[in-house]
Every structure is written in structure tokens, then in C-alpha cells.
């Protein structure tokens, strides 16, 4: 019997942005395939996802507000990459249709919300990294992960965590897609920090950046191990 190694697909604006995500997935035991709009934008989805068992949506530039029915706010300082939006949305649709496991980080969680029909707040002050003495430093805040969340089961505990914050877009309950469930939020301002899909087996979104492992609790590394395990299970079930 052939042994299939699970490939986890990582979507990214470019190879440099993908580095940390590739490193954590490889250390979890996965083979990784990086997809970027520049190289893969014109390639058929089925070809891009061949032998894949899971998807990791990464942090990156802002999502085009026209995708959720709004005009871009000229004061929001948006950095848009529509080819990346288009690539990720079609990959995500393919993956969700097949109930493949998904871990969606920062921009990835926002894209998940938009894909399910939700909206975003185009600019949030006080959530992004700042330049201090010539170096970019992450902001930090306290979040609460609910006990019933899949993320809590994967991490190994629920409750309060201090995590990094490197985003200037996000969502609250008013912007959340009704089909998605809020599983974590920021304690001070109620910003959604975790989303999951009750319709799918393992679709977890987090607003923080667990791939920056020295900036979040050690247990958050279990998210990448969890994605790897789910991808292996998916391949063994469907690739036989």
C-alpha cells in the first residue's frame, strides 16, 4: 500500500512572507507547498491542490473592501493585493467544499469571514506593530478563548492568553458572517480574535500570529501540529 505524505498548502503574498509559516509546518512534520499569486494565479485549482490534505491561510496585505460590498476608505492606509484575494478565495472554496482542514491566521481569519459573507473594519488603531528605535515591535493584548472552541481543544486549554497583535483590520460581532462562530475575543474592546465554522470538521481562524512562536504562549504551537495531524488523516481517508 502506498504511503501518502500530507501536503499542507500555504498561501502567501510572496515567498518571504511565507517563511515563518513554512518553518512551523515543517517542524510539525508536514510537507509544504507555497502558493503565491505571482506564480500560481493562472493555474487551475485542482492542479494547485493535488495531494493536499490541509490549508494554512497566512497573514499579509489587506483584503479588497469591494469583496464585501464597500468602497476602500482613502484614510485607512490600505495595502491591497487583489490577485492574492482571488487566489485564496478560490483555494478556500475548493477546500471548504471537500471539508479539508483549514488554519486561518490574521488576514487568513479575515478572509475566512469575507468568504462566508461577512465584512471587515477597514482600519483599527492600536492593534498593529510599531517602530521603536528603528525596529518593528509587535503590540500585545489579552484574549479569551472559549472552553467550547476547537482552538481550545487543540491548544490544550481555554481561558485568557497574552498574544501578539499585528493587524490594522479586523471585525466585531456586527461584521461577523452569521455562519461562523466567535470562539475568542479581545478582552478590552470585544474585537473578535477567533472564528470557527460549525459546518466543517476543522476550520479554525485566529487573529493573532502563533507562527511568531516567541510572542505567544508555547501551547499555541499545537495548532500547527493539529493541522498536520488533520491533514494526514484527510489524506489517509481520501487518497486511499
According to DSSP, residue 237 is labeled H
Other CB atoms closer than 10 Å to residue 157's CB: what's the count?
A: 12
Phi-psi region of 129 (alpha: psi -120 to 50; beta: other; left: phi over 0): beta
User: Three-state DSSP class for 31?
Assistant: strand
Which CATH number covers residue 140?
A: 3.40.50.880
Quickly state the pLDDT bin for 130 (edges 50, 70, 90): low
Count how many domains the chain has: 1
Q: Which residue range forms the structural domain that includes residue 164?
A: 7-238
Instruction: Determine, yes or no, domain membership for 170.
Output: yes
Instruction: Give the pLDDT of residue 240.
Output: 53
Please indicate, yes or no, whether the overall pTM of this predicted structure exceeds 0.85: yes
Instruction: Determine, yes or no, domain membership for 2.
Output: no
Model confidence pLDDT, tens digit, residues 210-238: 999 999 999 999 999 999 999 999 999 87
Q: Cell numbers at residue 154, please?
A: 487543540
Instruction: Determine, yes or no, domain membership for 230.
Output: yes
Instruction: Determine, yes or no, domain membership for 169.
Output: yes
**Partners of 52 in the β-ladder:** 7
Instruction: Determine, yes or no, domain membership for 202.
Output: yes
| Catalytic site positions | 106, 209, 211
- Measured in whole angstroms, the distance separating CA 3 from the mean position of its chain's CA atoms is 28
Instruction: Determine, yes or no, domain membership for 124.
Output: yes
Pick from 131, 121, 129, 130: nearest CA to 189: 121
Model confidence pLDDT, tens digit, residues 163-207: 999 888 999 999 999 999 999 999 998 999 999 999 999 999 999
Instruction: Determine, yes or no, domain membership for 1.
Output: no
Cβ contacts of residue 59 below 8 Å, gap of 6+? 17, 105, 106, 107, 108, 166, 167, 209
Q: Cell numbers at residue 85, please?
A: 484575494
Amino acid at each position: 500500500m502506498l504511503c501518502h505524505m500530507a501536503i499542507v498548502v500555504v498561501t502567501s503574498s510572496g515567498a518571504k512572507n511565507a517563511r515563518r509559516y513554512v518553518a512551523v509546518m515543517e517542524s510539525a512534520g508536514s510537507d509544504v507547498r507555497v502558493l503565491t499569486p505571482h506564480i500560481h494565479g493562472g493555474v487551475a485549482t485542482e492542479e494547485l491542490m493535488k495531494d493536499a490534505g490541509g490549508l494554512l491561510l497566512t497573514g499579509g496585505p489587506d483584503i479588497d473592501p469591494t469583496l464585501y460590498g464597500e468602497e476602500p476608505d482613502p484614510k485607512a492606509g490600505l495595502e491591497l493585493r487583489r490577485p492574492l484575494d482571488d487566489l485564496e478565495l478560490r483555494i478556500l472554496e475548493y477546500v471548504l467544499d471537500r471539508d479539508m482542514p483549514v488554519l486561518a491566521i490574521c488576514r487568513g481569519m479575515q478572509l475566512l469571514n469575507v468568504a462566508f459573507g461577512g465584512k471587515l473594519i477597514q482600519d483599527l488603531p492600536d492593534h498593529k506593530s510599531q517602530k521603536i528605535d528603528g525596529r518593528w515591535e509587535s503590540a500585545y493584548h489579552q484574549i479569551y478563548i472559549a472552553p467550547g472552541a476547537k482552538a481550545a481543544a487543540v491548544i490544550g486549554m481555554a481561558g485568557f492568553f497574552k498574544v501578539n497583535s499585528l493587524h490594522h483590520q479586523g471585525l466585531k460581532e456586527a461584521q461577523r458572517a452569521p455562519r461562523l462562530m466567535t470562539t475568542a475575543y479581545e478582552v478590552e474592546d470585544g474585537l473578535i480574535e477567533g472564528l470557527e465554522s460549525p459546518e466543517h470538521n476543522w476550520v479554525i481562524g485566529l487573529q493573532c500570529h502563533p507562527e511568531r512562536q516567541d510572542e505567544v504562549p508555547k501551547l499555541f504551537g499545537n495548532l500547527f501540529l493539529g493541522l498536520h495531524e488533520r491533514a494526514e488523516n484527510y489524506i489517509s481517508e481520501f487518497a486511499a
